[in-house]
Structure 1
Amino acid sequence: MNIERKYEGVGYEVHAIVGPYVEEEALLTLRNLMYEKFPNGQVHLQEQAPAISTDFRENYKFNSTIAGIEQSDACLLIGTNPRKEAPIINARIRKGVIHNGTVVASVGCAMKLTYPHHHLGTSVSTLKEIADQKHPFCSVLDSAERPSLVVSNRALQRADGNAIFNFARTIADEFGMIKEDWDGFNVLHMGANTVGALDIGVADKYQGLRTVDSPTSPWQKTRILFLLNADDLDNMELPDDCFVIYQGHHGDNGASMADLVLPGAAYTEKAATFVNTEGRVQKTSVSFFPPGYGKSDADALKSLLGPVQETARDQNTEATFEKIAPHLQKVGDIQDSDRLFESGVSVDPEGRSAAISSLPLAAPLDNFYMTDPITRSSKVMAKCTRVIKEGNFDY
């Protein structure tokens, strides 16, 4: 399949979008494919919040670690519902509340977390008051020995995500959440490998495909779009002659808009590497083989890549774990922090003065039981959804 010859000439654009459940091996192979066949193309991450600086991984991971969050004696939740987004982390916070007397407060939607907490409001302006040390809860954070905060990646994807991120960083700096023996600044990701994608440099350069040619209609110039397990895509206005390729395993929304569908393998059907929200490297094993002609995403992409000529350029773009992310070889480990312990070094001054939306911080999840292509294809999850919405237990 010689796709790169279909749109020769000036002005063609090729983009790839990767979903939050793509393993590291496939991401590296896609990177090589794009650099080899479409050097002007861009690889975008579906779940990336443009407000987060990806230069240092401490800006986008759960730094206190999942087990370590229970040691915090004061925790501020920002635009997150850990009971639905990360039940294990919520259980750890609950353990801290019960055994250590952790004081928990939230800025966002009202919610039931299975432990007492202070609901401070739903507006970003409340977050600004805390950052400016003008809120009553500041006294709690100020007296805490190991204060922490948890901000949802979904909250950082808002239009005012830059302001939210910088308010959170200011709070972390002002109240001593970042020390040499404690790091309480936490970004919570729902995606199984969002952190891993950011680790190897998959970043949304144009913040939502806002290309230089057409900032108001970001998809207008796209001629080839490769969707790698990317399904939750909204407001896509593709041109009529855009060729869409979807590679995935459950035939969800991305497959419905594709011209070509390549069957892939789910995480239970391949040996693959993932990095969770705390930055821990994890490895899956094959439980059973993919049905039909399905292949692992990395193998399918290698088939598209074809034989690579031994040229200097090819050797430079042939990325491996050893070259660009050596920590991915240490399964079960978390890379040590390289954070600079200087007050305010990671805060963007312009972000503090950025416009704040009047919209409240909404719930990050509407339906706990259907959050991705796998759960949306599950009969059991469909029954759970029916029960929670209608109270109907009939099968």
Structure 2
Amino acid sequence: GAVVGLIGEPVDLTYPYTHLGTDRAALDKLAGQDFDAIREEDSIVILGNRALAGEDGEAVLGAAMDLASRTNSGLLVLHTAAGRVGAMDLGFTTDGGMAAALDGAEVVYNLGADEIDIPAGPFVIYQGSHGDRGAHRADVILPGAAWTEEGGIFVNTEGRPQMASRAGFPPGAARENWAILRALSAELGATLPFDTLGALRAAMFEAAPHLGEIDVVPENAWTPVARGEMTGGDFVRAVRAHYLVNPIARASAVMAELTRLAESRSRPLAAE
């Protein structure tokens, strides 16, 4: 089996590993070591996306890339949201992050984002499927299909576009999400230039051609990021309740029971 080293909070990975430390100092120390033996083996550096979210995220990435170069390893950023990689491929980002996007906003159109806190003040339109946290903050709700109820293209954490087919139809007044946005654009007098899912995908492939290469991992140029000063402390886990990480899981009685059982196993037993 593989030899695994972990920097971050100790956690039950269900397989053996060597704990190398919890903080940025441990990563900095590791990246500066000599790895002649490892260079001859197949190896990979896996970096959790939470490690990149702090103010020193670029410095953390630089250290991880330096480690990968020194060990002749691949580098993989492990994301915690199914749609994040594809969204970044399409340029769906904001300078300054969520805080900048919400700053001074009078209206917020929330497209199924249930893991964020929207401050009081803005008028919130929520488009989503499960009436989760985002819906509780909404002034208007537009019911959309769940990912199992519409076709889609997802990009996995290695950059591979994958086709997903719907397993059923959305209930009640819910509609496929692209169709909601298309209808809304017409009502606002800014009609989007597609009437079918096929036309939408054609426009998407024109903007990002590699998304049309289903099941193919693109070859990316290696562009090292200079190692800077890492100012943060410990790396912390992005996921605390494994079985409740998304709206569909949180709506499940089975997932709630699994969470309860996991929490009971983690509590220390009283001495008899």
Same fold by TM-score greater than 0.5: yes
Q: Which residue does the alignment assign to 1:383?
A: 257
When the two chains are superposed, the root-mean-square deviation of aligned CA atoms in Å is 2.3
Q: Report matched runs for 1:1-395 at 5 Å.
A: 97=1, 102-133=2-33, 138-139=34-35, 142-177=38-73, 184-210=74-100, 219-234=102-117, 236-238=118-120, 240=121, 242-306=122-186, 320-335=203-218, 337-340=219-222, 345-348=223-226, 352-358=227-233, 360-390=234-264
Q: Distance in 1 between matches of 2:173 and 2:91?
A: 30
Q: Could you tell me how far apart the structure 2 residues matched to 1:121 and 1:185 are?
A: 20
Tell me the matched-pair count.
256
Residues 367 and 298 of structure 1: is their aligned pair in 2 closer, same or farther, counting only changes over 3 Å?
A: same
> For each residue in 1:151-183, what CA deviation from the matched residue of structure 2 results, as whole angstroms up to 9, or x when unmatched?
011221133322211110111122222xxxxxx
**2-side partners of 1:278 and 1:331: how far apart?**
13
| CA offset digits 1:370-392 (Å, max 9, x no partner) | 1011101111111111222236x
Higher relative contact order (Cα pairs below 8 Å, separated by 6+ residues) = 1
Deviations 1:22-61 (A, max 9, x none): xxxxxxxxxxxxxxxxxxxxxxxxxxxxxxxxxxxxxxxx
The SS at the match of 2:262 is helix
| Alpha-carbon displacement from aligned partner over 1:234-270 (angstroms, at most 9, x marks no partner) | 3x434x3x21110000011111111111000011111
Deviating runs (4+, > 4 A) in structure 1? 140-143, 307-311
Within 1, Cα distance between the matches of 2:98 and 2:66?
26
Contact residue 36 and residue 71 of structure 2 kept, 8 A: no
Q: Write the distance in 1 (CA, Å) between the matches of 2:98 and 2:179.
A: 28
Q: Secondary structure at the match of 1:115?
A: coil
Return 5+ residue gaps in structure 1 as ranges.
1-96, 178-183, 212-218, 312-317
Contact residue 114 and residue 133 of structure 2 kept, 8 A: yes
Q: Is the 8 A contact 1:220 1:237 kept in 2?
A: no
* Displacement of 1:141: 6.0
Read off the aligned partner of 2:240 and give its amino acid letter. Answer: D
* 3-state SS of paired residue (2:126): strand
Residue 9 of structure 2 aligns to a residue whose secondary structure is: coil
Task: Check the 8 A contact 2:50/2:237 in 1, yes or no.
Answer: no
Q: Do the aligned partners of 1:195 and 1:275 also contact (CA within 8 Å) in 2?
A: yes
What is the TM-score normalised by the length of structure 1? 0.60
Q: Check the 8 A contact 1:141/1:147 in 2, yes or no.
A: no
Consecutive unaligned residues in structure 2, runs of 5 or more: 194-200, 266-272
What code does the residue aligned with 2:6 have?
S
Q: Letter of the aligned partner of 2:114 in structure 1? A: D
